[in-house]
A and B are shown apart, each in its own frame.
Chain A
Amino acid sequence: MTTPTTTAAAPSGSTAEGRAPKNPRTGGRPRDGRSRIRRHLPTSPWLFAAPGLLVAGAFSLYPFLSTVTNSFTDRRTLIAGRFVGLDNYREMLGDEMFWTGLRNSTLYVLGVVPALVVLPLLLALLVQKQIPGISFFRSAFYTPVVASIVVVGLIWVWLLDERGLVNAVLEAVGVGRVGFLSDQWLLLLSAMAVTVWKGLGYYMIIYLAALANVPRELHEAASVDGAGAVRRFLTVTLPAVRSTMVLVGALSSVAAFKVFSEVYLMAGPDGGPAGEDTTLVMLVQRTGTGLSGRAGYASAISVVVFVVTVALMLLVLRADRKEDA
């Protein structure tokens, strides 16, 4: 990714941090300064870092390790577990609900990621040009990002209701009412649409930053050579934002695989009548929490979530590298 140049408008009220980016490692730091500034009470650096380290250790790193170790036990919320080896993983293979969750989370990635890579880019191209009122549109398009997923979910539950606005419109134009929230597949598709709707503005901003770094000379040169808008998009814009597309692909696929709230709100806590819309994280939440929660088994499912998200990330990044070669 190209580093943004500093010629463009610096942030207003810019302080030292707004200045030309220096190499963070050596950035204008006199060598001999190190030894002088070093003299402070020997304990204070750790005092400074202590709150952060404590939280990172106790609420990220420790839970990660205990998730992995718990996955080999039959631990429950109120009962300490015994080591059971791979029993949880073996049980998982025979658990129909696990496969349903894995299928739905995977479908979610396949459905959401292409839309979130392409649509925000088109949106960014639309709001990129400085025409009057454009900053209002940019802000408005970002509103769904600011709202809580619960608010967004409930808004769409009402819009897509059997008697809601979308169906009222569909009926008025003669299509007839559609059971968006009652059919298993339509429900999953609707949830995906909501995820895309909420994510559009966020990725639009990421793309805008990337587009601002495309040198205008390239566009001018292509123009002079007689390239039309589509041609210029394909030969100039697309190659320039490719690395950003990979980044968006990686971020959105990891987020999509871990989907919880949208489906939980739209399908209900049980993931629809027979649970056929359950996602993997919903399954973790359902089996592992509460007083009778099976923490051991839920941890094993969590480990699968870890492994798949890391694999997704590597897959996307690797696909990028291959294209480079």
Chain B
Amino acid sequence: MNRQGELMNGHRDGPERENGGGNSRRGRGNRESGRRMPGWEIALRYVLLLAVLALTVGPFLWQLSTSLKGPHEDIFSSPPAFLPEQPTFANYSRVAETIPVWDYALNSLTVAVANVVTNCAGAALAGYALARLRYRGRRAATVAFVLAMLVPVEGIIIAQFTTMRELGLNNTLVGVVLPLSVSALNVLLMRNAFLNLPYEVEEAAFVDGANVWQRFARIALPSVKGTLAVVAIFAFMGAWDDFLWPLIVLSDPQNFTLTIGLNYLHGTFANDERLVAAGTIIAVLPLIVLFACLQRYFFRGVGEGAVKG
């Protein structure tokens, strides 16, 4: 999915108010009409909400259920059995015997953490340079980032692949991380965040003799923690979920990330749905937990256009 347009439209902090607002939102209920909803309308709304809930979350639960079904259970029964009769974690250990799924998870984690670190550091530094420092060529630098943001990943994978070969980074995790390591979109997001800071504080620090680095690290950076968190979360999610680029750059099963490993598992052992189900649950669970804990930033990320691809 593509979140760039949001940024271009200067469409900021919207959903945050809707979702992260908490208490202060009370009393704004029924704001649209200012009237009380009739009972039947509330009931209808809940029926619809539950129907959509079954449609969006149901497939994940079905996958979870399949992954817990024992080897002698019929997973193809009609009418289907929604709950496992003999719940077991055996499929999870079996998937680890079939493919090195924990190594793949570790590879994914490595890639995701590296992506978070490089994006936060690189985007904060460059964003600060674009927003706060004055020098010749700043406009040109900004334009370069805007153009870089507009280049679709899908269109340059072949050139990227040949570049990686020339650098000798094919089939390495470094090769997976490098192209996304400082996303131009994140740089522009950080630039906007820094632009919205009041100038006076930094100026006071300047008068007190703080140099550029001190002003950046001690004053500006702590003030944009919110945007930095959004960048971090979307960098993690983007790297953990990515498929097309790792698929192209990784060829040796030893270096696979979880998504590529799952695709491999699916291609090779498609006949055992329990294994594939266990693998997908391993891949999706960490992100669901992350999302449950940090929802606010996920929603805000949509509004700020925090990720590309």
Residue numbers of A with Cβ under 8 A of B are 1, 3-4, 8-9, 11-19, 21-22, 24, 27-30, 33-34, 36-38, 40-42, 44-46, 48-49, 51-64, 66-67, 70, 75, 77, 123, 126-131, 134-135, 137-151, 154-159, 161, 163-165, 167-169, 171-172, 197, 199-202, 205-206, 208-210, 212-214, 216, 219-220, 223, 232, 247, 250-251, 254-255, 258, 260-261, 265, 268-269, 281, 284-285, 288-289, 293, 295, 298-299, 302-303, 305-306, 309
Contact, CB under 8 Å: B262 / A150: yes
Once the chains are docked, how many angstroms separate the CA of A138 from the CA of B127? 32
B187 contacts chain A at the CB level, 8 A cutoff: yes
Once the chains are docked, how many angstroms separate the CA of A205 from the CA of B305? 12
**What is the interface of chain A mostly: helix, strand, loop, or mixed?**
helix
Contact, CB under 8 Å: A148 / B130: no
Q: Which residues of B, 155-196, contact A by the 8 Å Cβ criterion?
A: 155-163, 165, 178-182, 184, 187, 192-193, 195-196
Once the chains are docked, how many angstroms separate the CA of A69 from the CA of B12? 38
Contact, CB under 8 Å: B197 / A17: yes
Contact, CB under 8 Å: A158 / B198: no
Contact flag A223-B33 (CB < 8 Å), given A4-B12, A21-B196, A206-B6: yes
Contact, CB under 8 Å: A33 / B199: yes
Contacts of A171 in B (CB 8 A): 78
Contact, CB under 8 Å: A159 / B59: yes
B86 contacts chain A at the CB level, 8 A cutoff: no
Contacts of B179 in A (CB 8 A): 55, 59
Which of B154, B241, B247, B248 is close to A147, meaning CB atoms less than 8 Å apart?
Answer: B241
Contacts of A24 in B (CB 8 A): 192, 195-196
Nearest chain A CB to B269 CB, angstrom units: 12
Of all chain A residues, the one with the shortest Cβ separation from B259 is A150
Contact, CB under 8 Å: B53 / A140: yes
Which of B1, B19, B180 is close to A255, meaning CB atoms less than 8 Å apart?
Answer: B1
Contacts of B161 in A (CB 8 A): 77, 288-289, 293, 295
**What is the interface of chain B mostly: helix, strand, loop, or mixed?**
helix
Contact, CB under 8 Å: B187 / A63: no
Nearest chain B CB to A126 CB, angstrom units: 6
Of all chain A residues, the one with the shortest Cβ separation from B299 is A205
Which of A44, A128, A129, A205 is close to B212, meaning CB atoms less than 8 Å apart?
Answer: A44
Contact, CB under 8 Å: A37 / B226: no
B263 contacts chain A at the CB level, 8 A cutoff: yes
Residue numbers of B with Cβ under 8 A of A are 1-6, 9-26, 28-35, 37, 42, 45-46, 48-49, 52-53, 55-57, 59-60, 62-63, 66, 76-80, 118, 121-123, 125-130, 132-135, 138, 141, 144-145, 147-149, 151-152, 154-163, 165, 178-182, 184, 187, 192-193, 195-203, 206-207, 211-213, 216, 222-227, 237, 240-244, 247-248, 258-259, 262-263, 266-267, 273, 276-277, 279-280, 283-284, 287-288, 290-292, 295-296, 298-300, 302-303
Which of B157, B160, B263 is close to A265, meaning CB atoms less than 8 Å apart?
Answer: B263
Contacts of A149 in B (CB 8 A): 241, 243
Contacts of B35 in A (CB 8 A): 223
8 contacts between A and B (CB under 8 A): A52-B187, A53-B126, A53-B144, A126-B49, A142-B291, A146-B284, A289-B158, A303-B155
Of all A-B residue pairs in the complex, the 3 with the closest CB atoms, nearest first, are A209-B14, A9-B21, A52-B126
Contact, CB under 8 Å: B59 / A67: no
Which of B48, B76, B144, B154 is close to A163, meaning CB atoms less than 8 Å apart?
Answer: B76
Nearest chain A CB to B32 CB, angstrom units: 5
Once the chains are docked, how many angstroms separate the CA of A161 from the CA of B66? 13
Once the chains are docked, how many angstroms separate the CA of A95 from the CA of B134? 52
Nearest chain B CB to A200 CB, angstrom units: 7
Contacts of B133 in A (CB 8 A): 40, 44-45, 48
